[in-house]
Amino acid sequence: MRGIGVVLDTAALLAYANGSSSIGEYVAVLADRGEAVLIPATCLASAYRDVGDDGLDLLDLIASLDHSMVAPLERDHCAILGGWARALGLDTAQAAIEAAAHAIVPLMTSKRDLVTQFLPKEWPIIDVRYE
Amino acid sequence: MTRKIAISIPDDVAARLDREPNISAFITESLRIRMAAENVRNAMAAAGFELTDEGRARAANDLDTLNASVSPELRSQAVALRARIKGGRP
């Protein structure tokens, strides 16, 4: 694996699980490049909480791909995570921290305005439209 | 298990391989990436996604543009942020 190509937050996972081909295309491009897709565990759990029955298998699939990495919560991140989670929620806070903790990794999220209260404004973000 | 195989390759590819200390490992890694990418595309297709060349080109362009937009200032900010996260205090 040649590094992490993108971090997916809950909205990105839900968009994918509802059939968004564009998310699948990013995932495929990163596989072509040998780069990993990082899925924060709290985002995956939140997506399983919110997805309809039709999307369960798709979440199983994306989490099991060879180039997907499901990132657990880490003790060292908990203090910052708790602070950021007050505004972002635990899931998006973990996604933002994972993007920052692995050098400058693009983040796929629907919460650009909130996330850039914690990450620098110029952080590479791919906007997802999913409510 | 491994197999020894003889292949013919163009001169420019051979020149690239000449720079590798372990050609077998390099070729194996390159092919594994390609195999994994094929597996992803097949899995996505089996799940009902219709991925197109245009869509993948658009996604590739988006990612390249984003990564190219990272400024030295942002890199400095990211280093400081990473240290703050590792330090464990807001």
Q: Kindly list the domain boundaries of chain B, sorted by start residue.
A: 1-51, 53-90
pTM as predicted: 0.89
Inter-chain contact B62–A67, Cβ cutoff 8 Å?
no
Task: Tell me whether 0.95 is exceeded by the ipTM.
Answer: no
Give B71-82 pLDDT, tens digit per residue: 999 999 999 999
pLDDT confidence of residue A131:
56
The closest CB to that of B43, out of A2, A6, A61, belongs to A61
Q: Is residue A20 over pLDDT 70?
A: yes
3-state secondary structure of A127: strand
Inter-chain contact B86–A101, Cβ cutoff 8 Å?
yes
Q: Are strands A125-127 and A107-109 parallel, antiparallel or unpaired?
A: parallel
Inter-chain contact B86–A103, Cβ cutoff 8 Å?
no
3-state secondary structure of A68: strand
Q: Which residue has the higher pLDDT, A1 or B40?
A: B40
pLDDT confidence of A14, banded at 50, 70, 90? very high
Q: How far is it, in rounded angstroms, from Cα A130 to Cα A20?
A: 10
In chain A, what are the domains?
Answer: 4-127 (3.40.50.1010)
The closest CB to that of B49, out of A24, A79, A80, belongs to A24
